[in-house]
Amino acid sequence: MSYRRTRGLPIVDAMTPPVLVLPGPATRDEVRGLSDEVRALLHGSPARVVVCDVGDLGPPGLATVDLLARLQLAARRAGGRIRLRGPDPALRALLDLVGLRFEVEGQAEEREPALGVEEAVEPGDPAV
């Protein structure tokens, strides 16, 4: 019996999400192309998530918020989601301000406590 050996580690490759590096300030014309690219990456990956590297987007503004919201919408329509890599603290604050929640690479999920953090109980605190 023989089989064709594939390159790479199939299990690891299947779980590694594709990365989309977003260019400097994206123009409105580029948004459609980036949305199409997100959909194409999701259709070609079993991971169901696309990592968007936002480190080179420059100073955050409403155009950046609009771009990320449209990319997230495109990903949701394709049955996936996006995860941000390297967001500026100002960008994260702006996204929180407008009410958009994005998963950030390397950040503990909301329902999971961060490792090594213990909650202290102060005397006199009411029981919950």
Q: Where are the domains of the chain?
A: 19-104
Q: For residue 51, count CB atoms less than 10 angstroms from its CB and return exposed for 0-12, middle for 13-18, buried for 19 or more.
A: buried
Model-level pTM? 0.70
Separation of alpha carbons 9 and 72, rounded Å: 29
> Tell me, what's the pLDDT at 25?
76
Cβ atoms < 10 Å from Cβ of 18: 15
Residue 77 pLDDT: 94
Residue 75 has pLDDT above 50, yes or no: yes
**Mean pLDDT of all residues in 79-85:** 94
pLDDT value for 2: 47
Could you give the percent of the chain with pLDDT greater than 70? 73
Q: What is the CATH number of domain 19-104?
A: 3.30.750.24
* Residue 62 near residue 97 (C-beta atoms within 8 A): no
Beta strand residue intervals within the chain, DSSP E:
19-21, 49-53, 81-85, 103-104
